[in-house]
Amino acid sequence: MTDATYGFDTLQIHAGAQPDPATGARQTPIYQTTAYVFRDADHAAALFNLQEVGYIYSRLTNPTVAVLQERIATLEGGVGAVCCSSGHAAQIMALFPLMGPGKNFVTSNRLYGGSVTQFSQTIKRFGWEAKFVDVDDLDAVAAAIDDDTRAVFTESIANPGGHIADLSALAKVADGAGLPLIVDNTSATPYLCRPIEHGATLVVHSTTKYLTGNGTVMGGCVVDSGQFDWSASGKFPSMSEPEPAYHGLKFHETFGPLAFTFHGIAIGLRDLGMTLNPQAAHYTLMGIETLSLRMQRHVENAVELAEWLEKDPRVDFVTYAGLKSSPYHGLIEKVCPRGAGALFTFAVKGGYDACVKLIDSVEIFSHVANLGDTRSLIIHSASTTHRQLTAEQQEAAGAAPNVVRVSIGIEDIEDLKADLDQALSKAVS
């Protein structure tokens, strides 16, 4: 594509892709290969020295994955991206160059349950610490930052409750401390929210969800804004100091705005090995081609269903930010001008037992541990995705025992209402 400015709907189809030079194939081929032939010995040496960009081995780079990386980076407004095997892998890939033993990051206490477990338990084995705070309380975020803090982390639209973070306000706090803001944009996608425009340094995705959109493959992505000065403070030696594995090369000095992206490939994928396979990249590329169309329908259905549920006497409350009653409604125009997504929770009268009956009674909604599918999905977070958390953590995360999480699909809205209606009748009878 040329340097012209294209609209989102055009970029979601064309960004990063060209007809295959060998065959003229219009759809990006699946390059199902582990390795690539070098032109000669000098070419191989230049690639391994990071003096030339190209393909060496598919743990590091692959042409199909490269198209996906460029497409997601373009849609997010970043300079580069690194795709990997899952959303959880993307979170580790984002933190890995920043952290070290004894270092910490400040993070929202309203995260996907698996992220809370990863951050509160697993990363301790690396000597890292996560400090959980309410990101609505900017003073609490600032107070949690100390000399060993290396990042601030949040979700743009929180899973499971659908709460919206004030990204520009958080970016100011992070900037004031000389720290990068990392935003998980899985629930919003770049169609609804572009965190880099609000000051985010890095954006992570579970591409498994809305970007792929059909529940077929796993994947993750880290998008680099290219706007952070990694050499300013001395806090990020992986970026600013000589790298022994590359004869003393300094990533930020050498690659400038693309320093984080090159580090993610040359160090992160090389040593952590959390590679995205080319077939998964292909499925995700096809999913992204219809992202805007799907997100419009997701949001349209979510608004109507949330309003319907809020009026239902069998429901105690609904957390959807798209409702005028939501305390986060005022942030929609600022953070997510195209809508508040399609993920939220609602509380069922009758508590835990009623939630279980509801889950067992739905017919169109699928009871699965996923979100962002074209199909409408439902789960009782307290007994599944957030089961490992304490009662206090569940409450803070919006996954109390009396609520269910729904990811609203693109089916006929009247069918979705009818399904929840009959299930609620059985649940609270």
Q: Which H/E stretch holds residue 407? A: strand 403-407
Instruction: For residue 251, give Cα distances in angstroms to 238, 263, 342, 361.
Output: 8, 7, 39, 55
- The backbone torsions φ and ψ at residue 105, rounded to the nearest 5 degrees and listed phi first, read -140, 150
The tokens for 232 are: 């300013």
pLDDT of residue 390: 76
Boundaries of every domain in the chain: 11-287, 291-427
Long-range Cβ contacts of 318-323 (<8 Å, 24+ apart): 318/344, 318/345, 318/346, 318/347, 319/161, 319/162, 319/163, 319/344, 319/345, 319/346, 319/398, 319/403, 320/162, 320/344, 321/157, 321/162, 321/163, 321/164
Residue 410 pLDDT greater than 60, yes or no: yes
Q: What is the predicted pLDDT for the residue at 388?
A: 72
pLDDT in tens, 257-292: 999 999 999 999 999 999 999 999 999 999 999 999
Query: Per residue in 69-101, pLDDT tens?
Result: 999 999 999 999 999 999 999 999 999 999 999
Mean pLDDT of 385-392: 73
Residue among 340, 336, 341, 380 nearest 361 (CA): 380
By the 8 A CB rule, do 235 and 178 touch? yes
Sign of CA dihedral 220, 370, 327, 415: positive
Confidence of residue 389 (pLDDT cuts 50, 70, 90): confident
Q: Does the pTM of the predicted model rise above 0.85?
A: yes
Question: Whole-angstrom Cα distance, residue 423 to residue 195?
Answer: 37
Q: DSSP assignment, residue 330?
A: G
Closest CA to 154 of 190, 117, 111: 111
Classify residue 246 by its DSSP letter: G
Asked if 407 contacts 372 with a C-beta cutoff of 8 angstroms, the reply is yes
Give one DSSP letter per residue of 266-280, joined into a string.
IIIIHHH--PPPHHH
Tell me the average pLDDT of the chain. 95
Q: Among 78, 80, 83, which residue's Cα sits nearest to residue 65? A: 83
Give pLDDT tens digits for 3-37.
568 999 999 999 999 998 889 999 999 999 999 99
pLDDT score of 3? 52
Q: Is the pLDDT of residue 214 over 70?
A: yes
pLDDT at 244 over 90: yes
Do residues 116 and 162 make contact, with C-beta atoms less than 8 angstroms apart? no
**pLDDT in the model for residue 1:** 57
pLDDT at 235: 98
Strand 104-108 to 129-133 pairing: parallel
pLDDT at 392: 78
What's the pLDDT tens digit per position in 340-384? 999 999 999 999 999 999 999 999 999 999 999 999 999 998 887
Which class is 291-427 in CATH? alpha beta
Report the relative pairing of strands 202-206 and 343-348 from DSSP bridges.
Answer: unpaired
The residues with which 81 forms a beta bridge, in sequence order, are: 223
Over range 231-238, report the average pLDDT.
Answer: 97
Question: What's the pLDDT tens digit per position in 166-211?
Answer: 999 999 999 999 999 999 999 999 999 999 999 999 999 999 999 9
Given 2.40.50.140, 3.30.70.1400, 3.20.20.70, 3.40.640.10, which CATH number is that of 11-287?
3.40.640.10
Report the pLDDT averaged over residues 298-306: 98
- Measured between its terminal Cα atoms, the distance across the chain in Å is 59
Cis preceding linkage at 160, omega within 30: yes
Phi, psi of 158 (to 5 degrees): -70, 140
